[in-house]
Amino acid sequence: SWNESRADCSEKSSQKLVIQDREELEFIQNCTQGKYHVWLGLSFTSPEKNWTWVDSSMLDQTLFPVTGPADVNSCGVIKGNRIHSETCSAEFKWICQKEAVPL
């Protein structure tokens, strides 16, 4: 589930994937080749009714429109070339990200 994947990333001192720009989204899409649906660090918050990343930033829906219905129990997943709203209890793979350490 989305919450289990978030806990897994936290245990690895990382966070779920937060996509900053279209280039990063295309990179992830190329990696998954449309074969895998992957949880993002994106959830629909209430009462604000906004899509929010795990780093507390807001989703720019002009850059990344989300398909599917959104409600209190909705989380974001990459499906093919789209970000889609799914029930947070669904089972998908996930990607954790971590800050690079300068050498």
| CATH code for the domain of 10 | 3.10.100.10
Q: Is residue 24 part of a domain?
A: yes
Torsion, Cα of 93, 91, 35, 58 (10° steps): -70
Q: Is residue 72 part of a domain?
A: yes
Q: Is residue 102 part of a domain?
A: no
Backbone φ, ψ for residue 76 (5° rounding): -95, 140
Q: Is residue 103 part of a domain?
A: no
C-alpha span between 67 and 34 (Å, rounded): 16
Looking at the DSSP assignment, which residues form a beta bridge with residue 16? 96
35 SS3 class: coil
Largest CA distance in the chain: 44
Provide the domain count of the chain: 1
| pLDDT higher than threshold 80 for residue 47 | no
Q: Write down the pLDDT at residue 65.
A: 87
* Domain span holding position 86: 2-97
Task: Quote the tokens at residue 99.
Answer: 């800050």
C-alpha span between 36 and 16 (Å, rounded): 16
Q: Is residue 19 part of a domain?
A: yes
- Give pTM, 2 decimals: 0.85
Mean pLDDT of all residues in 73-81: 90
